[in-house]
Structure 1
Amino acid sequence: MQGQATCRTGQHAGPGNMQDRSTCRTRSTCRTGQHAGPVNMQGSDTPTNIICTRHCKMSAHCARACSATGVEKNETGITVREQTELHVCNSATHEFVYSHRDFIRSGVRWLDKRRVGSISDCGAGQPLSRFDLTLRLGWQEKEKLGFFRYHLGDLQTKILPGPHGFVAQLNIQRGKERRKPQEIQSIKQSFNPNQFNFNKIQPGEILFEIRKQNKHGPSTEPQFTVSNGHSISGTEAAIDPAGPAYLDDGVTHTKTLVVINVSPLEFGHCLIIPEPSLCLPQVLTRDVVRIGIETVLLSSHPGFRVGFNSLGAFASVNHLHLHGYYVDHMLRIESARTEPLCPGKAFHLLPDSPAGFLFYTEGECLGTLIQNICKVTDCLVEKNIAHNLFVTRGRHPGTPLHSGPSRPGIRVIIWPRVSCFGAKEEAAFNVALCELAGHLPFKNRKDFDRITEAEVTEIVQKYLLPEKEFSMLQSQLMHVLQE
């Protein structure tokens, strides 16, 4: 490969190496990074990434939810609908097993000479991790097999002029082809088995099952349960021994699927779905926060992000899930100015628009951090306040903006916002997790070509809490964390 063209898969990094063009799309940067250098195997003594296949069983809660619809059951006690629609739960899936030794705790950085607002090609400053390679190569294979609703290609991208450095991308097909969002009436809306959920996806959409290895040996079967047949909240999960099995050192026995998003925002766009057969509604639990943070720690690419949209915050499916995807550009949120609120809790204010709250970690004391994050999100749920959460590599709070390419820690940002129930969508873009973070997927060329930073800020501001309400909430959250 010569000049600026390098392969999208990363199997042929380095100029002049184009031995297998069938696996490449010419682009300025390697997309999977398989051959960007030696694989980062900090946990080389851990099991190989694809080691076995497993099956899961439909939960009692999901069975009760389906039976409530009145669908006739067969002699096994499972409805015909369950047998046909829950085929994902009974399909063998590959396993990606990891431990804390696989976390990339240092060396994550953008390539030198990177800066917010630059449109030149991005890339990670170190070889991609085992997790990155598994996700990126698997995603590309699903693309070849035609599991996506449209061919993503290389999205036209530009940086809007101005201090925010918004990353704008033209993705017309997603606006046209994505599944129609479900009708949401409440942030606490119950799971409905008659609506689309992730037990109804094609088995071929599954990339892998991800599981953390117990430091005392291989994990047992999943022990993620629900109380009295109902989905438990994040708070209940944090205090109820029957909740998600999370220990302070990060050991858990929860089954989590990583599947492709068939209407992708960007390369590698996937959904992270904890224990799909439990039919949990779209409310954060301690365990799903854990897996969101840990997947970012597993990636050596600074552009891998994970996020969550609550109901009323443009979540389109009421079945618990996170979004994960790569954006090969710096976002301002990675180093945005912060103000300490509860320093002992790693809790900070993001004062600049869009105003929100931030937790920071460099991988230490994850159990305590996750408990505090869930205290905040549970408080928002109880107050019926919609919210978006975004997990990204970032700079330490207090570090000056544009202070260099290094990304030593993890920033977890929470934006409380105005609830949108049945609201008309914006013509240019919806205001959800990625838009609040500064990544703007546009639905049409007219807005993509003409919009300004000021117009983007005006659209986003409509979905944020009024200043007085935000200030009151800030005081309440500080009190909750200090209890």
Structure 2
Amino acid sequence: MYFSSLRIVSGSSMALSHYSKETSYLLPPNNEDWEEKGIPDFVYGQKELIVEGIQWPRNAPSALDTPTRFDSALCSAWRQRVELGLFRYRLGELQTQTLPGAVGFVAQLNVERGVQRRRPQNIKSVRQAFDPEQFNFNKIRPGEVLFRLHRKPNDCSAVQQEDILVIINVSPLEWGHVLLVPEPTLGLPQRLLPGVLRAGLETVLLSSHPGFRVGFNSLGGLASVNHLHLHGYYLAHRLPVEGAPSEALDPGGHLYLLQSVPAPGFLFYTSGPGPDLEALISRVCRATDYLTDHEIAHNLFVTRGAPPGKASASTMLTGVRVILWARKSNFGIKEGEAFNVALCELAGHLPVKTYQDFSSLTEEAALALIQDCLLPPAQADEIQEALVALMAQEEL
């Protein structure tokens, strides 16, 4: 197991022993004190975005022996909410195995999430409007908010980052599982927008942990709440999508097809912050707008990884990969299956619901479940052609 000494991803009380003193203000002792003081701020600058030197250790201490200010703030506040009893269950150390086979699926047994997570809302369309009567993030308990994330004013970036609330996922997949929610009172439906995608990319760059990932599920792609949000969480394992090979789909090298992974996906890549990252955000959102407008469900996964091209076995993660999957619509949780297919499963992380399934799951069975959620080849080819055409418009 990668990071065998790392306890931040196991729910252990040993999690992240080195905290930054400047983040102590992020820890209100109880809900009443939180309401009195308001939401704490986590303000960051572009200089805190880490581009180089992130890698999976080889028989080394965990990357979080030297956590960033962001890691310290998130994990210390998250652990405090555990002690306050704000989660639906107390996340213990999850049984984890890498399934034998060529893919390298990482399976985890998470019985409590399968049983106790909130039932998905009644969704009938990828473009469904926000409904204030349904559960949404304006209805959460005050203590579920960890902090407000935003850039320093007049930072070197030309783009002003909007404020994003970082809140706990009360039914966590793994240690540090949070939701990134742009101003909840706006009532934004679950449709990807540039501001929240930028925040997701920058939180990955704010972390020194190679396994901090961010993702998005569209409506019909197993999003359970129709209120705009991204997921973020720590997982101390490499995943197939980090170094999988890809082929360029357009002459400009803006869009790639990811290969040799659980499911073929569209790959976007950036080496770091600045104009390249802003161009990536524009491309990704144009692609997801196309899918949404055409009622095509989709999932998106953000992880540190290797540049596009040939397969990479290197432990060095030189940039950020954004993988986008178009898939069949599924407007509810399927009972009786080992796992449901959304952003983390497509990336190779399989949260399994029962011990029986966990002990018997094979790579072949996992691939069959995933393949069942993919689009027919003819429709997939049509979407690929449309996205390539969208990228070509950028060159004009």
When normalised by structure 1's length, the TM-score is 0.74
Instruction: Kindly state the Cα deviation for residue 124 of structure 1 after the two structures are TM-superposed.
Output: 2.4
Uncovered stretches (5+) of structure 2, i.e. residues with no partner: 28-33
Match for 1:328 among 230, 236, 239? Answer: 236
Q: Report what 1:378 is aligned to.
A: 289
Change (3 A) 1:5 1:459: closer
Matched, 1:210 2:194: no
Matched, 1:479 2:389: yes
Change (3 A) 1:131 1:52: closer
Q: Deviations over 1:97-128 (max 9, x none)?
A: 011111001000010259xxxxxxx8328722
Change (3 A) 1:216 1:100: closer
Matched, 1:303 2:214: no
Match for 1:271 among 165, 168, 179? Answer: 179
Instruction: Kindly state the Cα deviation for residue 8 of structure 1 after the two structures are TM-superposed.
Output: 3.2
Match for 2:166 among 232, 250, 258? Answer: 258
Instruction: Kindly state the Cα deviation for residue 50 of structure 1 after the two structures are TM-superposed.
Output: 7.2
Q: Matched residue of 1:344: which SS?
A: coil
Instruction: Kindly state the Cα deviation for residue 383 of structure 1 after the two structures are TM-superposed.
Output: 0.9
Matched, 1:93 2:39: yes
What pairs with 1:41-80 in structure 2 (closer than 5 Å)?
Answer: none
Q: Report what 1:466 is aligned to.
A: 376
Amino acid of the structure 2 residue aligned with 1:395? A
Matched, 1:435 2:349: no
Matched, 1:151 2:90: yes
Amino acid of the structure 1 residue aligned with 2:299? N
Give every structure 1 segment of 4 or more consecutive aligned residues whose post-TM-superposition deviation is greater than 4 Å. Answer: 4-7, 48-53, 88-91
Amino acid of the structure 2 residue aligned with 1:481? M
Matched, 1:391 2:302: yes
Q: Report what 2:264 is aligned to.
A: 355
Q: Deviations over 1:406-433 (max 9, x none)?
A: 1110000000000013463452111000
Q: Report what 1:73 is aligned to.
A: none
The whole-number CA distance in structure 1 between the counterparts of 2:270 and 2:51 is: 10
Q: Matched residue of 1:295: which SS?
A: helix
Q: Report what 1:199 is aligned to.
A: 138
Change (3 A) 1:24 1:186: closer
Q: Relative contact order: is structure 1 or structure 2 higher (C-alpha 8 Å, sep ≥ 6)?
A: 2
Amino acid of the structure 2 residue aligned with 1:438? G
Q: Deviations over 1:21-40 (max 9, x none)?
A: xx9636xxxx43526xxx7x
Equivalent pair of 2:126/2:218 in contact (CA under 8 Å): yes
Sequence identity percentage: 48
Change (3 A) 1:389 1:425: farther
Amino acid of the structure 2 residue aligned with 1:392? T
Equivalent pair of 2:12/2:93 in contact (CA under 8 Å): no
The whole-number CA distance in structure 2 between the counterparts of 1:340 and 1:351 is: 11
Structure possessing the higher radius of gyration over alpha carbons:
1
Q: Matched residue of 2:219: which SS?
A: coil
Matched, 1:34 2:18: yes
Amino acid of the structure 2 residue aligned with 1:8? R
Number of equivalent positions? 381
Q: Deviations over 1:45-98 (max 9, x none)?
A: xxx657799xxxxxxxxxxxxxxxxxxxxxxxxxxxxxxxxxx99981000001
Q: Deviations over 1:223-251 (max 9, x none)?
A: xxxxxxxxxxxxxxxxxxxxxxxxx7332
Amino acid of the structure 1 residue aligned with 2:13? R
Amino acid of the structure 1 residue aligned with 2:7? R
Q: Report what 1:293 is aligned to.
A: 201
Change (3 A) 1:257 1:349: same
Matched, 1:181 2:90: no
Q: Matched residue of 1:342: which SS?
A: coil
Instruction: Kindly state the Cα deviation for residue 468 of structure 1 after the two structures are TM-superposed.
Output: 1.8
Equivalent pair of 2:124/2:331 in contact (CA under 8 Å): yes
Amino acid of the structure 1 residue aligned with 2:144? E
The whole-number CA distance in structure 1 between the counterparts of 2:344 and 2:8 is: 24
Match for 1:409 among 302, 319, 324? Answer: 319
Amino acid of the structure 1 residue aligned with 2:151? K
Q: Matched residue of 1:97: which SS?
A: strand
Q: Deviations over 1:201-238 (max 9, x none)?
A: 00011111101112269xxxxxxxxxxxxxxxxxxxxx
Q: Report what 1:225 is aligned to.
A: none
- RMSD, aligned CA: 2.6
Amino acid of the structure 2 residue aligned with 1:105? V
Change (3 A) 1:89 1:320: farther
Equivalent pair of 1:50/1:96 in contact (CA under 8 Å): no
Equivalent pair of 1:99/1:215 in contact (CA under 8 Å): no
Q: Report what 2:52 is aligned to.
A: 106
Change (3 A) 1:33 1:433: farther
Q: Matched residue of 1:136: which SS?
A: helix
What pairs with 1:129-168 in structure 2 (closer than 5 Å)?
Answer: 129-168=68-107
Equivalent pair of 2:306/2:319 in contact (CA under 8 Å): yes
Amino acid of the structure 2 residue aligned with 1:112? R
Deviating more after overlay: 416-425 vs 257-266: 416-425
Q: Matched residue of 1:146: which SS?
A: coil
Match for 1:367 among 278, 285, 291? Answer: 278
Instruction: Kindly state the Cα deviation for residue 5 of structure 1 after the two structures are TM-superposed.
Output: 8.6
Instruction: Kindly state the Cα deviation for residue 451 of structure 1 after the two structures are TM-superposed.
Output: 1.1
Q: Report what 1:222 is aligned to.
A: none
Q: Matched residue of 1:391: which SS?
A: strand
When normalised by structure 2's length, the TM-score is 0.90
The whole-number CA distance in structure 2 between the counterparts of 1:429 and 1:210 is: 32
